[in-house]
Structure 1
Amino acid sequence: MVTPSARTNSRLGFIVSIKCNAKLSRRLICRIDPAAGPGEAMQMDPNSGNPETGPRQPGAVAEDQTAAIAFLSDPSTHGGHPVEVVETHGAYVFIAGERAIKMKRAVWFPYMDFSTVEKRRAACEAELRLNRRTAPEIYRAVLPVTLEPGGGLVLGGEGKALDWTVVMRRFDQDTLFDRLAQRDGLDAGLMESLADEIAAFHDQAERKTGVDFRASMQAVVEGNAASLQNGIGKPFRREEIERIGRRCADMLRAAGGALAARARAGFVRRCHGDLHLRNICLAGGRPTLFDCIEFDDRLAVIDVMYDLAFLLMDLEHRGLRRQANVAINRYLARTADYGGLAALRLYLCVRAVIRAHVAAAAAAAQRKAAADRDRKDAASYLELAMRLSEPAEPCLVAVGGLSGSGKTTLAHALAPGIGGAPGAIVIRSDVLRKQLFGVDLFHRLPQEAYTREQSRRVYRRIEALAGAALATGCSVIADGVFRNEGERSAIRRVAEAAGAPFAGVWLEVGAATQEARLAGRLLDASDATVEVGRAQRRGAETVADWPVLDADGGLTPLREAAARWLSEAGIECL
């Protein structure tokens, strides 16, 4: 049964009619006006390239997509629903009704080639397959835009494929993490959930063997330098391009051994590759990663820490150091991948440089308002890269006290303001104990896990990780009871061996406050109970070698008191 409904759009010059189809609940046909002469459907920039010779420069248009764009932009293609068109430098997204349809732009960049229909088809199929790893509820199908024998365009038809699309379930755009960030909606709980999702994804991601990731990063660093050259004057200066190139090369030389070792150890996997806030949303109430890199394995077969670094860099660029600090510390708690810290500063810097030259290239392909915005973004990303490339002096802070005294709360309140991006790494004894026993953070361990020998093992691990992190330039907060003078002296010696400033603080809390906190704990890595807290109080020693802070009050006065003491010890806490 056919129910025609046609109208003429004089601006676009085509007739739209809607039919039913046995394969799809609605078959949507766009008939191209035969009165239109060749090329009138789309006027290509004569300086951008052409379908015969290919693009002349990065971002240039390689094929005429106007008919498909017009078809997908028309409400009749979507059952009459209004259409919102979102353009990026690599795609058009047509949002209407309950779905979003993504079509690759026919463009070429050194890192992304969508210049032919076949390449766009392969990219769409890869996008569906790879994104269903993390967002199966969003990614539905790959459908062609076909040219039928009568001259009509059909979504998912039987004719010649003019282009290819990825069909997705529409989600509320207000749940995108960049929009949540604009509304100050990225609280600590949400960032922990996001870090949990990323850690679980990385754990299941396909391991890639035989990858020389040091050489891969060398190619990225050199490619960045070449790409930045295209932005000289708009908006980059030659001297800053040369300076960031030298700094990246120096950091790569310093971290090269660590990169090679991590590749051998299995940390190079088929990752997301484009893990920034605009590619994360809330779906079904949980953080969901989508729109991963599908067009070039060289950009997605990477170190998992390099994958995470994109998110951390994006948060830093937005002035969200606290959220970045929550994310890195929760990720480390879940994965125990402290070895990745050796390359983190390099990874953060390289990510910022990539965003700088991508934004500059996008500006060259956009209209004025969008181009001005992209050039501003490019300049700000390069400025961030400069800042990230400057090493910060690491320091070591130890927070001690009985269970329930507020050590972990204070450690995480201090961490974003200590050291360089993304803030201090919190090494917590309760977390390390769970890692050493190979159990989930919230799995309750038996009493045998808390013998004196096991506790010595945990504190030796704190000392080893703290020393290794300081050696990479990361500041550290060690969070443990530190009940005896020997444990406190040992953590101080770690800082001395690294030549790093040190400060230790002891939190004192009344019995009633301690017991109320222990009784009210939910989903915490600590197994301490009210009974454990009472036993600790009976055997507590007087602490004379660290300043004692009253932790009975709220967090704000406690943090202020701790920050004052750190300042006196020569440690800046913003």
Structure 2
Amino acid sequence: MTGRPSFVVEDQSETIAFLDAELKPERRIDTHGAVVFLCRERAYKLKRAVKFPYMDFSTEGRRAAMCAAEIEVNRRSAPEIYLGIAPVMRRDGGLALGGVGEASEHAIDWLVVMRRFDEEGLLDRMAARGALTPELMAALGTRVARFHDSLPAIPSGFCSPDDYRHSVAADVRQMREAGERLDPPTSEALAEAMPRSLEPYLDLVARRVAAGAIRRCHGDLHLRNIVTLNGQPVPFDAIEFSDKIANIDVLYDLAFALMDLARQGLGALANRLLNEWLWRVGELEGASHEEALALMPMFLARRAAIRAYVDSAVTAVSGADNAPARAYQKAALAFLQPAPPRLVAIGGLSGSGKTTLALKLAPEIGRTPGAVVVRTDVERKRQAGVALEERMPAGSYSPEASARVYAACLARAERVLRAGHSVVLDAVFARPGERAAAEALARKVGVPFQGIWLDVPKDVAQQRVTDRKGDASDATASVVERQFGYDLGEIDWERH
């Protein structure tokens, strides 16, 4: 086939024409790495015969192995979608399609067979029509955190400081090789800025490996690869073809979805996703997730840069507009711009609206995707090993227990601030000493401080806590009654 891109190493036009005629798809999706045939109840994915530095489908044997690997890795997160693989065979002078699970010595290609879903449930489409919600992001954060926690750590071989350097250099090379399909001046700006964003944190990178942050992750967790099924977000189409791309830091895995949301102006949803994940993911000793937020600008920039050069490769095949790919480049550069951290503390009795205000303010504070919300209600349950939606046992709210929780929250906030990320503290702060400790933390770290106190009528607060469902707070109407008898001392925070 003349005129085909250099990364296409084999002519599959006969196979594609056969599948079009055999499957009679309602629609066909062509990407740089696959052709997907969408039929009424099933979807069939043919891997293109391509060879990139990051993806090799150049032989029938390689494509067969990668189809099997795709089923294996995706059944971890989306077993309801992935059915198996089927061969395309030479038979009686023509081509034939085998059944799912059928072996064949005469296969010339293989298909991943999936149960078809409603594409309107894809998160990128939902984003386009304004249908994504904070509740859906909370569910996604919960699901991804649970997925990450289920994966074994990879103690060596991936994500060392040198691996990061080489990966960033490869990203730069791919952008440059895209030439005019991307914006060359932006490619050069990123060639300088991306390595510079990594170098101060090479020790942290090494400690993340030792701490167990490297897992066999999804690897491609952008909005087009997440679908809602029965109202729940389900990640699919995980990376199967490259250990280097899939064996990554769990925070880098999450960063793809964060980048995609932020790039589309959905910063509040990105912030909710990050916070829900941080509230639920397992702790790591030696290189915490909060400390790893220092890597977030580089993570986001890399995710956007990868999307840029991958989409530019798609346009080389399809002839589509390059503007979206160039927009990803611009976003990558923007993610690397500095934004000094701040500490905001929100206090008030239970039911005063602290968490609601914290989640409203957080997306607008500091660098993308906004401030980390540190909640005493969450910290208390994490310390006890209790699910956020479960009630704490009796005796969990003693003065001594509360002091430990406040100290842990301040320590967590300090880690976030020292990573260059902003924090919103969400706690009752009923005691003057607790409020003073929050102010002292800001002075210690050298960041601006804002204290906000929320006043609310008792009956309103009691009704709010009574109406809560699925929240980390255990407050009840009787708790509110007791709190209204507290001696709060002098409150010199902003009162609302």
How does the TM-score come out when normalised to structure 1?
0.82
Aligned equivalents of 1:274, 1:459: Cα separation in 2: 37
SS at match of 1:392: coil
Counterparts of 1:57-96 in structure 2, within 5 Å, are 57=6, 60-74=7-21, 77-78=22-23, 82-96=25-39
1:147/1:159 contact within 8 Å kept: no
Task: Output the amino acid matched with 2:306.
Answer: I
- Verify: 1:532 aligned to 2:475, yes or no: no
Specify the SS of the correspondent of 2:37.
strand
Moved more, 205-214 or 408-417: 205-214
- Contact 1:275 1:308 (C-alpha < 8 Å) held by counterparts: yes
Find the aligned partners of 2:405 and 2:237 in 1 and give their Cα distance: 40
1:128 to 48, 71, 87: 71
Out of 161, 178, 181, the position equivalent to 2:127 is 181
What amino acid is the match of 1:477?
Answer: V
C-alpha displacement of 1:46: 4.8
Residue 243 of structure 2 is aligned to residue 297 of structure 1: yes
- Say whether residues 1:45 and 2:15 are aligned partners: no
- CA deviations over 1:321-369 (Å, ceiling 9, x no partner): 01101100000111154233132121111111111222222222322xx
- In 1, the alpha carbon distance for the partners of 2:25 and 2:158 equals 48
Cα distance in 2 for partners of 1:362, 1:217 equals 25
Distance 2:266 2:352 in 1: 28
Say yes or no: does 1:108 pair with 2:59: no
1:477 to 407, 418, 424: 424
Deviations 1:240-294, CA, capped at 9 Å, x for gaps: 3333222221221122111211111111000000000000001233211100000
Higher RCO structure, 1 or 2 (CA under 8 Å, sep 6+): 2
Partner of 2:179, secondary structure, is: coil
Residue number in structure 2 paired with 1:38: none
Find the partner of 1:426 among 373, 385, 408.
373
* 1:457-493 Cα distance to aligned partner (Å, 9 max, x none): 1111121111211111111100001111111111111
In the TM superposition, what whole-angstrom CA distance separates every residue of 1:426-475 from its partner, at most 9, and x where no partner exists?
00110011111121111211232211111111111121111211111111
**Aligned-partner Cα distance in 2 for 1:321–1:468:** 22
Moved more, 342-351 or 84-93: 342-351
Q: What's the counterpart of residue 160 of structure 1?
A: 106
Contact 2:291 / 2:419 at 8 angstroms: preserved in 1?
no
The one-letter code sitting in structure 1 at the alignment partner of 2:398 is: T
Q: Find out whether 1:365 has 2:317 as its counterpart.
A: yes
CA contact (8 A) 2:432 2:489 kept: no
Among 190, 206, 213, the alignment partner of 1:244 is 190
Q: Tell me which residue corresponds to 1:201.
A: 147
Question: 1:244 touches 1:389 (CA, 8 Å); kept in 2?
Answer: no
Q: SS in structure 1 opposite 2:131?
A: coil
Contact 2:430 2:486 in 1 (8 A): no
Q: Where do residues 220-259 of structure 1 align in structure 2 (5 Å cutoff)?
A: 220-238=167-185, 240-259=186-205
Distance 1:323 1:47 in 2: 40
Match 1:466 to one of 399, 413, 424:
413
Over 3 Å counting, the alpha-carbon distance change for 1:152 and 1:212 in structure 2 is: closer
Letter in 2 for 1:430: D
CA gap 1:304/1:146 in 2 versus in 1, 3 angstroms: same
2:218 alignment partner AA: H
Q: For residues 481 and 337 of structure 2, what CA distance do their matches in structure 1 show?
A: 47
Instruction: Give matches, 1:483-498, under 5 Å.
Output: 483-498=430-445
Aligned mates of 1:295, 1:234 — CA distance in 2: 25
**Partner residue in 2 for 1:274:** 220
Aligned residues: 486
SS at match of 1:419: coil
- Compared CA separation, residues 491 and 184, structure 1 to 2 (3 A): same
Distance change in 2, residues 1:331/1:152 (3 Å): closer
Using the alignment, how far apart are the partners of 2:492 and 2:401 within structure 1? 25
Structure 2 length-normalised TM: 0.95
- Match of 1:332? 278
Query: Percent identical across equivalent pairs?
Result: 44
Q: Which amino acid aligns with 2:315?
A: A
Match of 2:89, SS state, is strand
2:217 maps to amino acid: C
Q: State which of 337, 344, 349 in structure 2 corresponds to 1:390.
A: 337
The separation in 2 between residues aligned to 1:205 and 1:318, in whole angstroms, is 30
Task: Give the Å deviation of 1:399.
Answer: 0.2
Q: Name 1:353's counterpart in structure 2.
A: 305
- The structural deviation recorded for 1:179 is 0.7
* 1:341 corresponding residue in structure 2: 293
Contact kept? 1:95, 1:101, Cα under 8 Å: yes
Report what 1:314 is aligned to.
260
Superimposed CA distance per residue, residues 208-238 of structure 1 (whole angstroms, 9 cap, x where no aligned partner):
1213412222121010111111133333224
Q: Which amino acid aligns with 1:253?
A: E
> Among residues 104, 119, 137, which one is paired with 2:80 in the alignment?
137
- Which blocks of at least 5 consecutive residues in structure 2 are unaligned? 284-288
Counterpart for residue 286 of structure 2: none
CA–CA separation in structure 2 for the residues paired with 1:468 and 1:166: 44
Q: Tell me the residue number matched to 1:264.
A: 210
Contact 1:269 1:304 in 2 (8 A): yes
1:513 matched to 2:460? The reply is yes
Deviation for aligned residue 1:47: 5.9
Asked if 1 retains the 8 angstrom alpha-carbon contact of 2:375 and 2:427, the reply is yes
Instruction: Provide the aligned C-alpha RMSD in A.
Output: 1.5
**What CA distance in whole angstroms lies between the structure 2 residues aligned with 1:128 and 1:322?**
34
1:211 to 157, 163, 172: 157
* Cα offset, 1:141, TM superposition: 1.0
Q: Distance in 2 between matches of 1:453 and 1:254?
A: 39
Q: Distance in 2 between matches of 1:517 and 1:153?
A: 63
Letter in 2 for 1:251: S
Distance in 2 (CA, whole Å) between partners of 1:326 and 1:276 is: 16
